């Protein structure tokens, strides 16, 4: 069966949804089809490791729009289907259900999947990842009866899950291979603060800890065995060890790919009429000194979606906003502006013991990123300072008596 569609959006996440929304807002009247491999209409992913995991947010409230919205906007949702081949020359894409779309433009917004544990025993039942609503439903249901939970990976996902589950009275052990949590994304002051906070809340954190394998019983995980020989009892394991971008289908179609699908500043891939956005799109980022990278965040996916819509609507506008992120753990609101790639210095504003402070990242004296903990003012001002690529006197910068926003030009 072949179906013609002016716009084929592959991926029904936040980025894909925004392409459709922005096109309709801009008066686009052509046909739009959105194919998603999950059974769900577009929903908000960040709460999965936060208030949705905690059971404080319902599935209805996770949805970006009511189901009828997509119908009203004439967006044809094809859910539970995966695009498996693309023929860029003939402008055709085929799903795993055998349906072929003949498209005018294709937007590859397929995101990625949670990196699976690739160690012996990593495929036992009882081992979970946090990426989709269905995965988190499964996790929540099994967590009800679990007592000993081991979280592998001390990134945002692992720490957020730990913060939720420790509050449910579970025994939580969190293991990180690097010598500190958040090692790849934040400075040492932030890592030390979050390690201390999680320990204070009762989470047992092990850093510099390698995991060699997992043992099982009747196919179900039983323990986690560490490189030093220690064995930790586990009736549930969560792996939060990063995202693998979905790029294989694009690569097979001939698109230039690196750590993701390579795109230019208007999210165009190397293939005619094919764009890529969101977690899987690898782009040259001016906030990372021109390094090619992927940015895994909602603001990035939405901003890139709007850029693609602008091209299709005939008024191209690249997405150039400062990247930003957030992470909620306990009563701590961490907000990050900018990308700290290649920072050569950090500056602390305020005292972490007060639970309200920020860490500025500098490269050659220039402010390139800010991590703000319960310090919204510094986050908001920091975003502007990063955008303005400002160099400020360091002594003044560390002086909390001087509001960060006073440095904004």
Partner 1 sequence: MAKLHVLTSDGTETILNGDVDTSVLEIMQDAGNSDLMALCGGCCSCATCHVYVDEQWLSAVGAVSEDEGDLLDSSDHKKNNSRLACQVKMTDALDGLRVMIAPED
Binding site for partner 1 (CB under 8 A): 21, 25, 44, 46-47, 50-51, 61, 64-66, 69, 72-73, 298-299, 302, 324, 326, 328, 333, 335, 376-377, 380-381, 383-384, 405
**Torsion over CA: 312, 315, 316, 318 (sign):** negative
CB of 358 to partner 1, least distance (A): 12
- Closest to partner 1 by CB, 215 vs 400, is 400
CB of 328 to partner 1, least distance (A): 7
CB of 381 to partner 1, least distance (A): 7
- Closest to partner 1 by CB, 5 vs 297, is 297
Residue-wise DSSP of 289-356: TTEEE---SHHHHHHHHHHHHHHHTT------PPPEEEEEETTEEEEEEE--TT--EEEEES-GGGT-
- Closest to partner 1 by CB, 50 vs 124, is 50
Distance CA 87, CA 112 (A): 21
CB of 38 to partner 1, least distance (A): 17
What is Dmax (Cα atoms) for the chain?
67
In angstroms, how far is CA 141 from the centroid of its own chain? 23
Which residues have a Cβ under 8 Å from the Cβ of 369 and sit 6 or more positions away?
336, 337, 338, 339, 340, 343, 360, 361, 382, 386
CB of 377 to partner 1, least distance (A): 5
CB of 21 to partner 1, least distance (A): 5
For the chain, state the CA radius of gyration: 22
Residue-wise DSSP of 4-43: EEEEEEE--SHHHHHHHHHHHHTT--S-EEEEESSSSPSB
CB of 236 to partner 1, least distance (A): 26
For residues 321 and 338, the answer to whether their CB atoms sit within 8 Å is no
- Closest to partner 1 by CB, 95 vs 297, is 297
Phi, psi values for residue 164, rounded to 5°: -75, -50
CB of 311 to partner 1, least distance (A): 19
- Closest to partner 1 by CB, 101 vs 194, is 194
- In the three-class reduction of DSSP (H, G, I as helix; E, B as strand; rest coil), residue 405 is classed as helix
- Of 346, 336, 334, 331, the closest CA to residue 394 belongs to 346
Residue-wise DSSP of 137-200: HHHHHHHTT--EEEEE--SHHHHHHHHHHHTTT-EEEEEESSSSTTTTTS-HHHHHHHHHHHHH
CB of 173 to partner 1, least distance (A): 28
């Amino acid at each position: 069966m072949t179906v013609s569609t002016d716009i084929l959006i592959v991926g029904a996440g936040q980025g894909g949804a925004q392409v459709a929304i922005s096109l309709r807002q801009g008066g686009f009247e052509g046909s739009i089809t959105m194919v998603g491999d999950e059974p769900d209409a577009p929903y908000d992913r960040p709460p999965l490791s936060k208030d949705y995991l905690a059971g404080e947010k319902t599935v209805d409230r996770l949805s970006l729009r009511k189901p009828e919205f997509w119908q009203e906007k004439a967006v044809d949702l094809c859910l539970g289907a995966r695009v498996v081949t693309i023929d860029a020359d003939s402008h055709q894409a085929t799903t795993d259900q055998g349906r072929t779309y003949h498209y005018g433009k294709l937007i590859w917004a397929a995101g990625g999947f949670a990196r699976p544990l690739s160690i012996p025993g990593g495929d036992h039942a009882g081992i979970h990842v946090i990426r989709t609503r269905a995965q988190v439903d499964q996790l929540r249901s099994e967590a009800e009866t679990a007592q000993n939970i081991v979280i592998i990976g001390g990134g945002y996902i692992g720490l957020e899950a730990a913060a939720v589950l420790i509050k449910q009275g579970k025994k939580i052990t969190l293991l990180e291979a690097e010598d500190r949590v958040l090692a790849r994304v934040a400075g040492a002051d932030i890592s030390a603060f979050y390690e201390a906070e999680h320990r204070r809340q009762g989470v047992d954190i092990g850093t510099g800890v390698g995991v060699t394998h997992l043992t099982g019983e009747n196919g179900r995980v039983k323990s986690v065995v560490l490189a030093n020989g220690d064995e930790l009892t586990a009736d549930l394991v969560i792996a939060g060890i990063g995202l693998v971008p979905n790029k294989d289908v694009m690569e097979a179609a001939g698109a230039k790919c690196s750590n993701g699908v390579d795109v230019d500043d208007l999210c165009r891939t190397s293939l005619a009429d094919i764009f890529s956005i969101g977690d899987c799109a690898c782009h040259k980022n001016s906030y990372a000194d021109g390094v090619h990278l992927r940015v895994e965040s909602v603001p990035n996916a939405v901003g890139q979606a709007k850029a693609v819509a602008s091209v299709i609507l005939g008024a191209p506008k690249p997405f150039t906003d400062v990247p930003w992120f957030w992470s909620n753990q306990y009563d701590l609101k961490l907000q990050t502006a900018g990308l700290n790639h290649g920072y050569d210095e950090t500056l602390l504003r305020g005292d972490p013991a007060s639970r309200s402070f920020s860490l500025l990242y500098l490269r050659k004296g220039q402010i390139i990123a800010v991590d703000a903990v319960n310090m919204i003012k510094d986050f908001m001002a920091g975003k502007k300072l990063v955008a303005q690529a400002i160099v400020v006197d360091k002594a003044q910068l560390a002086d909390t008596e001087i509001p960060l926003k006073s440095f904004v030009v």
